[in-house]
Structure 1
Amino acid sequence: MEWLVAVHVISAIVGIGPTYFGHVLFRKRQRMEQLRQSLALFDLLNYFPKIGGSIAVVSGVALVGFSGWEFADLWIWISLVLYVLIQIVAVGILGPVVGQLIHALNGGDEQEAGSAAVTNKAAFLLAKANRLFNIVSFLGLVLIVLMIVKPM
């Protein structure tokens, strides 16, 4: 059982951890080339939440199955709902915003030839992405706290 707890904790850290790098990667006042590099790094880091988060859910369900907890426990349902909300915001909402940001940087309507500054549209999308990262980070923090203080 200890190995399953270890797998669950490590996969949760790997799965949620890169979310907090989004605040650094999508910071304001970047030049165009810096933002392109940040998006490339974001693309690489995006594999960790997909893999780690999936393993965390599977191992968490296994922990519930092998322990004295029941799926009827409120904290388990709240945890699952938080995880689903994180996925909805991160994949369903943030993903398309990042796609629009990439499009705006790679030849969007407002881009001036040779401009090193981020366009207005890209700046708007960048601010929107930051707000979504704040939401995901907050929900992730609540989820982590819930996992630490869960009822015994």
Structure 2
Amino acid sequence: MMTFYNILILIHIISAIIGIGPGFVLTTIVKHAHTMTDIRFAFTVKRRLHHFIQVGGALLLLSGLLLGVITPSLFQQGWYLTSLVLYLLVLILGATLLRKISAPIRQMLADQTLTETPAYYHELRNRLLRVEYAVNALLLVIILLMVLKPF
């Protein structure tokens, strides 16, 4: 029989898969889109998957905090606090820098008269990918902290 704590851990793990997993794939989809048709499709897929990332990410944060409330000693563990701070940093980067960088790309995609990829798109895409790679690296560190609990 599973305890409430075990159920929360299961929810936390599933939330991590749903909330973090797609982010590692989205960069590849966008990176390999070159024509305007492909780019529009890539960003449509990205937007649709982002809903899963938002729900999974919110549930991930909520379940992680609930685990800490149930077991207050977690708030004294370095790996837990570091993971929490890094995750909050990821959320801030998503809400600020990633949104700011992707705004001109969204404007470009909204222009249905564009049939050829504008030259400036590649610079914007590369900036976006660099930040997304950094976010993915932070998420990988968080996963390693959760699994290894090194301190």
Q: Check whether TM > 0.5.
A: yes
The answer (yes or no) to whether the contact 2:90–2:135 under 8 Å persists in 1 is yes
* Partner residue in 2 for 1:105: 109
- Count of aligned positions: 147
C-alpha displacement of 1:40: 0.6
- Higher helix residue share: 2
- Counterparts of 1:133-152 in structure 2, within 5 Å, are 133-150=132-149
Q: What does residue 129 of structure 2 align with?
A: 130
State the Cα deviation string for residues 49-102 of structure 1 (Å, max 9, x = none): 211111111111111222363313222211111101111222211122222112
Match of 1:18 among 16, 22, 27: 22
- For 1:128 and 1:86, locate their aligned partners in 2 and report how far apart those are by CA, in whole Å: 16
1:43 aligns with 47
Q: Is 1:9 matched with 2:9?
A: no
Tell me the amino acid that sits aligned with residue 62 of structure 2.
V
The percentage of counterpart residues that share the same residue type is 29
Structure 2 CA distance for aligned equivalents of residues 29 and 67 of structure 1: 46
Structure 2's unaligned 5+ residue stretches are none
TM-score (norm 1): 0.87
Which ranges of structure 1 fall in alignment gaps of 5 or more residues? none
2:33–2:42 contact (8 Å) kept in structure 1: no
Matches of 2:109 and 2:7 in 1, distance apart?
45
Which portions of structure 1, spanning 4 or more consecutive aligned residues, are displaced by more than 3 angstroms? none
1:75 is matched with: 79
2:74 match: secondary structure: coil
Q: 1:119 to 1:59 in 2, by over 3 A?
A: same
Amino acid paired to 2:136: S
> What secondary structure sits across from 1:30 in the alignment?
coil
Supply the distance in 2 between the matched residues of 1:93 and 1:85 (Cα, whole angstroms).
11
